[in-house]
Amino acid sequence: MPANPTSCTSPRELSTVLLAGAIILLVVHGLGRFIFTPLLPYLVQDGQFDAQQGAAVATWNYLGYLMGALLAIRWHRIEHIRRLLPLSLAVHVITLLLLTQLNDLTAIDTLRWLNGVANGVVFVQAPALILEWLVSRNRSASSGLVYIGVGVGLLVSSGLVSGTATWLAGADRWWPAAVLSIPLAWWGVARLLRQQIPARVAADGSQQADHGPLFDRASIPLFLSYAGAGLGYILPMTFLPLLARLELPARHWLQDGTWLIVALATIPAPWIWNRLGAKIGDLPALKLNFVIQLAGVLAAVLWPGPVGLILCAALVGGTFLGTVLLTQRIGRALHPHQGPRLSAATVALYGFTQMVGPWLTKQWLGAGGTLATAFGIGVAALAFGLLFVFFVPKPCSR
């Protein structure tokens, strides 16, 4: 291993690593997790389950996501990542293939839970591995670009669902995501695992730094703000197309168009927030991010119909990945020696609050509430998160 990896890191190598990470996130998030959002109205229409049961399916997936992130806290070293990352991607592919064959609700719940576990592991480990690789080459400012894969994944999921809506039904609607996942997962993980991480990062020789406290006066406000963000954004990211179907006349373009708007807004978002964080600082950028995201969810509550749906889709789609990448960077600056472990802890917290969101929605609908008013839960959560951002101290280093 060269003594100075920065000097031998070519633009092509940098692009390959970021592309591999982006494709992996496209697979697990776009084709695994969030494809359920545009699929949900069709699966309800096909009679696989009703809206309340669909919320429960989403909850199982988010529970799995939380458990996967917790696993990543336990197995966070580079040698662990090299084993768990390909295994988790294999689980992702297998669960999607099985979903094409099953209509039993219990089986669907179980498979979506397993898919969530794999998603949680991958969403922690792939960006964490890339961030450590970038830090060792003094390129950490590029870390947010890997999340472009999530935005592209949302666009791909939208196209797969709407493009096959008229000739697939029920369990068969999972086939496009399953088939596309296989070559993309194989290529992405093969390229990423070729990269070498310096021994000092992989071995993490300092036991104290590796196992020191993650929660202190500096990080607790950041964790609390991130919890609010997780609960706040997950409602539109799970139920926005279903809300559009409930509020709009039949065959209105926004029934599929809301998810397309989310996807289009998400694609440039990592680049924008990555650049803005570098220019004005990650912490000021995070405050602005919360304000815009809060306005988006609030719009769906205040203006039911096309205006509120479009604003919610565009503003939430354009901000939620910025929340992720800015929080990850701020957290690492507060605890610079805990890289992958800290990433896993923040994602686990994020996963817990995302699991709570669909569960609260299920309870609200069961008590006679409407899906539109359930979005008020997201408004309150984002306001909570915004409040605690102001208590996060400015990191000493980026």
Q: What is the DSSP letter of 102?
A: -
Determine contact, residues 99/171, Cβ cutoff 8 Å: yes
Q: What is the DSSP letter of 298?
A: H
For tokens 């926005």, name the residue: 240
How far is the C-alpha of 39 from the C-alpha of 208, rounded, in Å? 46
Mind giving me the DSSP string for 179-195? HHHHHHHHHHHHHHTTS
Exposure of 125 in the CB half-sphere (CA atoms within 13 A): 35
Mean pLDDT by 10 residues, the chain (398 residues): 53 86 93 88 88 84 86 75 90 96 92 94 85 74 79 88 89 95 94 69 43 69 90 85 83 82 89 89 94 94 90 93 88 71 75 79 80 86 94 71
Residues 6+ positions from 340 with CB-CB distance below 8 Å = 72, 76, 77, 78, 81, 124, 125, 128, 129, 132
Determine contact, residues 329/145, Cβ cutoff 8 Å: no
Task: Supply φ then ψ for residue 253, to 5 degrees.
Answer: -60, -25
Mind giving me the DSSP string for 316-373? HHTTHHHHHHHHHHHHHHHSTT-HHHHHHHHHHHHHHHHHHHHHHHHHHHHTT--HHH
pLDDT of residue 188: 93
Residues 6+ positions from 290 with CB-CB distance below 8 Å = 225, 229, 323, 382, 385, 386, 389
Least Cα distance to 182 among 100, 103, 91 occurs for 91
The two tokens of residue 306 are 């096309």
pLDDT of residue 197: 64
Please tell me the pTM assigned to this model: 0.78
For tokens 């996967």, name the residue: 68
pLDDT of residue 208: 41
Mind giving me the DSSP string for 82-95? HHHHHHHHHHHHHH
196 C-beta neighbours (distance < 10 Å), count? 12
Burial 43-64 (b: 16+ CB within 10 A, else e): bbebebbebebbbbbbbbbbbb
Coil, strand or helix at 208: helix
Coil, strand or helix at 210: helix
pLDDT of residue 398: 42
Classify residue 208 by burial, with Cβ atoms within 10 Å: 0-12, 13-18, 19+: exposed
pLDDT of residue 339: 59
